[in-house]
Structure 1
Amino acid sequence: MTQKKVDDDELVALFPGEPITHDNAEHYRGRLRRELLVNRCDNCGSWHQPPKPICPECWSTSITPTPVDGAGAIFMAIFLHQGPLADGVDYSTPYPVVTVDLTSQPGIRFTSTVVGSPNEDITIGAPVVLDWITRGAVPFPVFRLATKDQAL
């Protein structure tokens, strides 16, 4: 079954308050399919994040948002005690925000949260896998700590 392509107006309506541009719209469409997309240059093969219209390595404009598996290791972790109101975010327990080094895309990092683990287990270097939750009626990429059989 093929999924209907979401036009720009529908996309903006589905993600209110998000900074959707022509450079990142396909990434939000990927979220609707539960795909984490990272831009890859069609000419030199380099990955780059955040989405930009030109490759920072070779200056090509031939860029393709490409699905990635999202496996990696925690590079940085902070725990927010307060912050802006967000669907599904509860600051009564410090809310984890992590930046993950993606294993299959060297040099690429992605920032989100870790779900399903106590904060004391969320540590620098811990292996994680990509997962999805629903936030505001749309899919939202998150990480879970990897089990021993998932760790790289």
Structure 2
Amino acid sequence: MADQLSNDELVQRFPGEPITHDNAAHYRGRLRRELLVNRCDDCRLWHAPPKPMCPECWSWNVTPLPVSGNGAIFMNVFLYQGPPAPGVDYSTPYPVVTVELEEQVGLRFTATVADADNGDIQIGKAVRLDWRDRAGSPMPVFVLTGADA
């Protein structure tokens, strides 16, 4: 069903998101609860954010493919203020993390951590992908696995 949505319908499902020709497939993947990352068909490099050309070999043969969503927190920040967004409460600092995914060293994805105390969100902690509905659409989040990476 997600693949049958028109571009206009896709934009309506993710209000306020910067949907472009280069990342529309990634948002369609989110509707299936799949985190897609571009991978070069020639040199096999994974790269994010989505771009139509491989940054390593300059090939245009790039395919969005699902990743496991498993990884370790590479960087974290806590936001004390920001623009209003569904599901975001700044009365407690809101965590934003960049996770290095297990598919490749240097492959990183940024989202929030759900269901964790802020004191437990630390660099090096292992996480896995999960999904939360925000404004009626699935959004990727990470949850702590209880292990160190």
- The answer, yes or no, to whether TM exceeds 0.5 is yes
Between the aligned residues of both structures, percent identity stands at 64
Contact 2:2 2:31 survives alignment (8 Å) = no
Find the residue that maps to 2:28 and give its secondary structure: helix
Structure 1 residues 3 and 87, CA gap change in structure 2 (3 angstroms): closer
2:89 is equivalent to residue 90 of structure 1: yes
Matched with 1:137 is 136
Matched with 1:61 is 60
Contact 2:2 2:29 survives alignment (8 Å) = no
Q: Once the two structures are superposed, what CA deviation does each residue of 1:77-132 show, in whole Å capped at 9, x if it has no partner?
A: 11111110000000111000000000122211000000111000000100000000
| Structure 1 residue 24: Cα displacement | 0.3
| Structure 1 residue 3: Cα displacement | 5.6
Structure 1 residues not aligned, in runs of 5+: none
Matched with 2:75 is 76
Find the residue that maps to 1:147 and give its secondary structure: strand
Once superposed, what is the RMSD of the aligned Cα atoms?
A: 1.3
Q: In 1, Cα distance between the equivalents of 2:4 and 2:104?
A: 27
Matched with 1:15 is 14
TM-score (norm 2): 0.95
Find the residue that maps to 1:16 and give its secondary structure: coil
Structure 1 residues 109 and 4, CA gap change in structure 2 (3 angstroms): closer
* Number of aligned residue pairs: 149
- Post-superposition, which runs of at least 4 consecutive aligned residues in structure 1 deviate over 3 A? none
Matched with 1:27 is 26
